[in-house]
Structure 1
Amino acid sequence: MTTELQSPLPSQPVLRLRLAPHRDLPRAIDGAWWPRSYDLLAELPQLLAGLPRTWGHITSVTVSGATWAAVPGRTLVSNQVVRLRRTPGASAPRTVVLLAPGRGRWDLLVVPPDTTEEAAEPLMAAAAAGQV
């Protein structure tokens, strides 16, 4: 009798996200997100799934700059419609703005996908510490 080894199913990559501790006072940046690509439709479901439940249902996402791949007007994420927008200008800071009606707004620094781990870690730590 022979036993075939089956390769493990590919697991979903770990979400590269660091959030600042919750505070009552607003801050300019609420954390950092390091996506694996500029394909928003591919990256967004994992980001939204990894957010704290206390943030509620994100209904609107705005990305800055022209580096993102096609950004349609809306998409379906986990059976929920999410409106997508892009701010004009390549010189705009790389951020993603998340809105949840009645819950709030969160601005995340976007670390470019091609950033090395050595360069990304200090950026993410600084954003989570409110030093960006």
Structure 2
Amino acid sequence: MTTAVQPPLPSLPLLRLRLAPRGDIPRPIDGAWWPRSYDLLAELPQLLAGLPRAWGHITSVTVHGAVWSAVPGRMLVFNQVVRLRRSLTASAPHSVVLLAPGRGRWDLLVVPPDTAEEAAEPLMAAAAGDPGGAVSRG
């Protein structure tokens, strides 16, 4: 009798996210996210899954409309509706804004997907307030 070997299940790529430590002083940027593409429908579920539970349920996400691929007005993520907004504000072309009612607002620097790792790591560390730190991929 022979047994068939099951191929391993495909694994999701690690989330490239670096968050600033929580503190009493408000920060203009709360961390950095380095997505693998500008396809928000593909990238957003993994980002939201990797956020701290203390942030609560993110109900609204705003991205810069000129860089991200077309998005619908809302999408279902983990059985919850998330509103997707596009902004053309010139002051924040490389950021994403996350809102959770009653919990707060978080602004993340978006490192462009095609950025080389040598350039992305210092950007992410600086956005998280740790200029000498390494990128968190988990």
TM-score where L is the length of structure 2 = 0.88
How many percent of aligned residue pairs carry the same amino acid?
A: 82
Counterpart position of 2:18: 18
Match of 1:45 in 2: 45
Q: After TM superposition, give the deviation of residue 6 of structure 1 in Å.
A: 3.3
Q: How many pairs align?
A: 131
Task: Name the structure 2 match of 1:34.
Answer: 34
For residues 1-132 of structure 1, the aligned pairs below 5 Å read 1-89=1-89, 92-129=92-129
2: distance between equivalents of 1:77 and 1:46?
10
Give CA deviations for 1:4-51 in whole Å, capped at 9, x if unaligned.
443311101100000000012211000000001100011000000100
Aligned-partner residue type, residue 116 of structure 1: A
Partner secondary structure for residue 98 of structure 1: strand
Question: Structure 1 CA distance, aligned partners of 2:59 and 2:113?
Answer: 24
- Counterpart code for 2:83: R
Q: Distance in 2 between matches of 1:3 and 1:18?
A: 43
Q: Distance in 1 between matches of 2:65 and 2:28?
A: 18
**CA RMSD, aligned part only?**
1.7
SS for the counterpart of 1:109 is strand
Name the aligned partner's letter for residue 97 of structure 2: V
* Native 8 Å contact 1:61 1:82 kept in 2: yes
Distance 1:123 1:65 in 2: 22
Gaps (5+ residues) in structure 2? 132-138
CA distance in 1, matches of 2:30, 2:48: 15
Cα distance in 2 between the residues matched to 1:9 and 1:38: 25
